[in-house]
Structure 1
Amino acid sequence: MSGERIEEVKITIPVLAWVIIITALLTIVGNIFVYFLPFPFTCNMNAGDLIATPGVDLLGMPFMVTLIVGALMSISSIRRRLTTVNLMLLYVVALASSAFANQDSPWREAFEPVIARVGTDPAVMAYVPEFVSPPREAAEALIRGTGSITAIPWGQLLPAIIWRFFTFAFFAGISVGLISIFRRQWIDVERLAYPQVAAAYNAIVGVGEVRNPKWTGRIIFILGFLIGFGLELIRACTLFFPWFPDVYSWRTATCGPGTHHLSFPGTTWHYGLAKHTPFYALLLLAPLHSLFSVVFWGIVYEVASAIAVTLGYYTGYVDMGHCGKSWCGQNTPYAEPPLAFGSLIVGVTLGVFVMTIFHERHHIMMTLKIAFGGAGGIEAEEPMSYRTAWLIFVGSFILGIIVFMVAGMSLWASFIV
């Protein structure tokens, strides 16, 4: 921590009020933007998710806010208020807003529980209580409108809205507690890479320093911005102007998230070529071992799929379209046995959890001793005490399990979800 400036941020009532207002504003504007985009651009060109590639998503609101901040910095009265603390709060607010204003949330491409009965098999929804997902009629009224806010069946909708709020709230509590416990170990000691955060941080720094002629990164930042803006402007023109040349082939041979089809008839090959230009910039920030893992296990997926098809499984899989091999829910190595890679991913996640606990066992024991044994020292540099962090983490985890068990899930399923 030497050489770094630490500043404590106190969340006051006025600050919290502004956080709520700006979050609501960005979320509303972001959703309006998403809903007015035609498919497939709803999925791959919305402001909430700059890289709509599952597992690599680069949430976009922080970058939009950064551009707005850059423009406002020319006004001296506003520039004085754009302190480091305020910029940090804007980043957090924008990041949270992106999570609720993209192709997956709240309900453009994926059904949230509140309206799940509209587009989900009734045989599946028979197991879901109505306080989690209200009746279809209530969901349709919410989607189509009633002409009057009083005509909306709030009595059926509010329990589901409240239940969904608690699922988010308790997950947020788990996240706050967890990162407070591991912050020092992961950031100060191990210095783990966070490419998405690094990109946003450097964008904020660049906007703040770009007017400074003595800043050594000024020319590179300006050139990078112009190149990136130009590349994305071409894609925007492809969307908004039908006469504009389809330079990147976004109108053809493209899966929803933005993958160009690479089809080899008669084979099990299902990978494509990502068309998002920011995606390749982000890869430059990713650790080499992470990139190696992606390539290695991608090859394992393809080889295992080819072997399974050769042995007689997944009949017709080789004749599926490119998108179908990735997204179809039936007769694919991802969805069904004997490979069922989708289920394996859950197991891998649990495995990573167990390995993390084992790898960080000394740090975990140290924080527990400090929290409940009275030992001090490094805790003074943390945003909250380890005792508070552990209580928030454990309490939120238990309450989260209870919320899912009340909805009908087993103890084990509620634990791993």
Structure 2
Amino acid sequence: MNQLTKSVPVQPNPRQIRWFAIGIGLVLVPINNYWVFSSLRWEQGLPTTMSLFFNVIFIVTLLVTLNYAIARFLPSYALTQGELLTLYTMLSIASAICGHDLFEVIITNISTAGWLASDENEWAVLFHRYLPNWLALTDKNRLAVYFTGESSLYLTQHLQLWWRPVLSWSGFIILLLSTAFCINLILRKQWIEAERLSYPIIELPYQLTSPRFFRNRWLWIGIILAGGMDFINGLHFLYPSLPGFGGEFYDLSPLFTTKPWAAIGWTPIVVFPFAIGLAYFIPLDLSFTFWFFYIFWKFEMVLGSALGFQQVAGFPFIFDQSFGVCLGVLLMTLWSGRRHLNHVIAKAWHGQEPISYRFAVLGLIIGIGLLTGFWWAA
């Protein structure tokens, strides 16, 4: 009778995201952000320069490993796959915001224009008067302690100096991300249901958080191969007399010493196990464009040298070509989604979406207006 009435451990609902999982994410976000910022100080690889952030994958791997033990002894407190993916999303978004291409650059730009100004470059004369004091700091004397160190941010004089630009740029980032969120709300249905865009980058986190991930023998073979290469390359870095394995850059340019072939410039070949793994998730047509247009860029440089265009400043105008591609993708997106956008406008006031199109459209209009006002005021 006692065996029949013995309580069964409560299992968490796999479709429900519990508040304590959100709390874990809120605790991990500042730790994760400290890691991202510290990567600059310790000259580590920048985690956010690749779309699959290795810092987030590392943290989620630790959580999954710990979750196995929790599921064994305290199953009601074990995180579900949905909760682990929620933590992955929270950490990824936090990493993108504080990463190399956003907040890290803004923080340096607040003070760089003032600190690097000198009598030789005449920055103070040329453009300091155009920098509002609520966005940039130009007093070199007050910035000295920031660059030389041996002090603390949490002093009254330092907080008084930094609070306005930090709050101003924080408001700008919040406004920018909110506007981007509204754009995502508008295009969500078009991307998911009409164009059926695949997001292969989520495949690794999805599989990582599944219960059977670490039971796959092919996974362990891959870990041994890639980990072995990295281990050998690490020994080669510490002891150069030992041979490396694919981790060094082999430049092909010394093989081409005569014109016009010498115009190819630095052309490295290197094998990175992590890059091979990432390329596996990329659609074939997209991965084709990576190497094809790299070779095409080199061909442009050789052709330009043969025709004498290398003397033209900026040739072959890579940044202009990149901007043109982005503009073309934008126009193609608008054209392919024109019917959906018309539907959004028509249903903006009577929608059945999880978050109404009215909210998204009004948010987008207000966001663009406020961003324009920020730009005008700056």
Q: TM-score range by the shorter chain?
A: 0.7 to 0.9
Q: Distance in 2 between matches of 1:242 and 1:103?
A: 31
RCO higher in structure (CA 8 A, sep ≥6): 1
Give the one of 189, 192, 203 matched to 1:198: 203
**AA at the equivalent of 1:198:** E
Matches within 5 A, 1:382-397: 382=354, 384-397=355-368
Matches within 5 A, 1:70-81: 70-76=64-70, 80-81=77-78
- 2:275 aligned with 1:269, yes or no? no
**Residue 104 of structure 1, CA deviation:** 5.6
**AA at the equivalent of 1:347:** G
**Residue 361 of structure 1, CA deviation:** 0.5
Counterpart residue number, 1:229:
227
Report the number of matched residues.
348
Query: What TM-score does the superposition give when structure 2 sets the normalisation length?
Result: 0.77
**AA at the equivalent of 1:265:** T
Q: Are residues 367 and 20 of structure 1, via their aligned partners in 2, closer, same or farther at CA, if it must alter by over 3 Å?
A: same
Structure 1 residues 310-360: Cα deviation after superposition (integer angstroms, max 9, x where no partner): 343435xxxxxxxxxxxxxxx8xxxx4453221332232122212211111
Structure 2: give runs of 5+ residues left out of the alignment: 1-12
Counterpart residue number, 2:63:
69
Q: Are residues 27 and 221 of structure 1, via their aligned partners in 2, closer, same or farther at CA, if it must alter by over 3 Å?
A: same
Give the one of 280, 296, 299 matched to 1:300: 296
Contact 1:27–1:98 at 8 Å: present in 2 too? Answer: yes
Q: Distance in 1 between matches of 2:135 and 2:175?
A: 16
Q: Are residues 357 and 138 of structure 1, via their aligned partners in 2, closer, same or farther at CA, if it must alter by over 3 Å?
A: farther
Structure 1 residues 31-51: Cα deviation after superposition (integer angstroms, max 9, x where no partner): 3354224xxxx3xx35x24xx
Counterpart residue number, 2:188:
183
Q: Distance in 1 between matches of 2:141 and 2:104?
A: 17
Contact 1:23–1:97 at 8 Å: present in 2 too? Answer: yes
Counterpart residue number, 1:347:
324
Q: Distance in 2 between matches of 1:274 and 1:100?
A: 30
Q: Distance in 2 between matches of 1:297 and 1:356?
A: 21
Matches within 5 A, 1:284-299: 284-299=280-295
Q: Distance in 1 between matches of 2:142 and 2:343?
A: 51
Q: Distance in 1 between matches of 2:177 and 2:314?
A: 34
- 2:90 aligned with 1:84, yes or no? no
Counterpart residue number, 2:217:
219
Q: Distance in 2 between matches of 1:104 and 1:35?
A: 16
Q: Distance in 2 between matches of 1:262 and 1:58?
A: 29
Structure 1 residues 24-67: Cα deviation after superposition (integer angstroms, max 9, x where no partner): 11111333354224xxxx3xx35x24xx5xxx543212211122
- 2:134 aligned with 1:134, yes or no? no
Contact 1:174–1:393 at 8 Å: present in 2 too? Answer: yes
Q: Are residues 295 and 107 of structure 1, via their aligned partners in 2, closer, same or farther at CA, if it must alter by over 3 Å?
A: same
Q: Secondary structure at the match of 2:244?
A: coil
**Residue 279 of structure 1, CA deviation:** 1.3
Q: Are residues 369 and 244 of structure 1, via their aligned partners in 2, closer, same or farther at CA, if it must alter by over 3 Å?
A: farther
Counterpart residue number, 2:111:
115
Matches within 5 A, 1:219-258: 219-239=217-237, 241-242=238-239, 245=242, 247-248=244-245, 250=247, 254=249
**AA at the equivalent of 1:86:** E
Deviates more, 1:70-79 or 1:169-178: 70-79
Q: Are residues 312 and 152 of structure 1, via their aligned partners in 2, closer, same or farther at CA, if it must alter by over 3 Å?
A: farther
Query: What TM-score does the superposition give when structure 1 sets the normalisation length?
Result: 0.71
Structure 1 residues 156-185: Cα deviation after superposition (integer angstroms, max 9, x where no partner): 322221222123212211222122222222
Structure 1 residues 177-201: Cα deviation after superposition (integer angstroms, max 9, x where no partner): 1222222221233221323222332
Q: Are residues 167 and 184 of structure 1, via their aligned partners in 2, closer, same or farther at CA, if it must alter by over 3 Å?
A: same
Contact 1:115–1:140 at 8 Å: present in 2 too? Answer: no
Give the one of 394, 398, 405 matched to 2:369: 398
Q: Distance in 2 between matches of 1:233 and 1:122?
A: 49
**Residue 83 of structure 1, CA deviation:** 2.1
Q: Are residues 294 and 119 of structure 1, via their aligned partners in 2, closer, same or farther at CA, if it must alter by over 3 Å?
A: farther
The higher radius of gyration belongs to 2
Structure 1 residues 43-95: Cα deviation after superposition (integer angstroms, max 9, x where no partner): xx35x24xx5xxx5432122111221132123226763312342122102221
CA RMSD of aligned residues (A): 3.4
Matches within 5 A, 1:36-47: 36-37=42-43, 42=44, 45-46=45-46
Q: Distance in 2 between matches of 1:27 and 1:160?
A: 20
Structure 1 residues 70-125: Cα deviation after superposition (integer angstroms, max 9, x where no partner): 321232267633123421221022213433666666549x9732233245866476
Q: Secondary structure at the match of 1:339?
A: coil
Counterpart residue number, 1:93:
90
Q: Distance in 1 between matches of 2:370 and 2:271?
A: 41
